[in-house]
Amino acid sequence: MKNRMRDLREDHDLTQQKVADALGITQRKYSYVETGAQPLTDELLAGLARFYGVSTDYILCLTDEPN
């Protein structure tokens, strides 16, 4: 399965810390979510979609269209 969260982060040349700061969480928690060790909550999903300007379906790999 694709890891869209990691791909988006790397495509924007961001560290996990930068994304975590934008979401208001620790880098460790973000790492756990990105790697699948912890589930992606609705709140984090919405925050990621806003941060990257893409749809939640895109982050969840339900579509290949960012918008």
pTM of the model: 0.90
Q: Sorting pLDDT into bands at 50, 70 and 90, what band is 1? A: very low
What CATH number is associated with residue 55?
Answer: 1.10.260.40
According to the model, what pLDDT value does residue 57 have? 96
In a domain, 48, yes or no: yes
d(CA 44, CA 48): 6
pLDDT at 2: 63
What is the per-residue pLDDT across 7-35, written as a single tens digit (0 to 9) for each? 999 999 999 999 999 999 999 999 999 99
- Note whether 65 and 58 are within 8 A (CB): yes
Residue 64 domain flag: no
Quote the CA–CA distance of 4 and 59 in Å, as a whole number.
6
Could you give the number of structural domains in the chain?
1
Q: Which one has a higher pLDDT value, 1 or 11?
A: 11
SS (H, E, C) the chain: CCCHHHHHHHHCCCCHHHHHHHHCCCHHHHHHHHHCCCCCCHHHHHHHHHHHCCCHHHHCCCCCCCC
Decide if 18 is inside a domain: yes
> Which residues form the domain of 30?
4-59
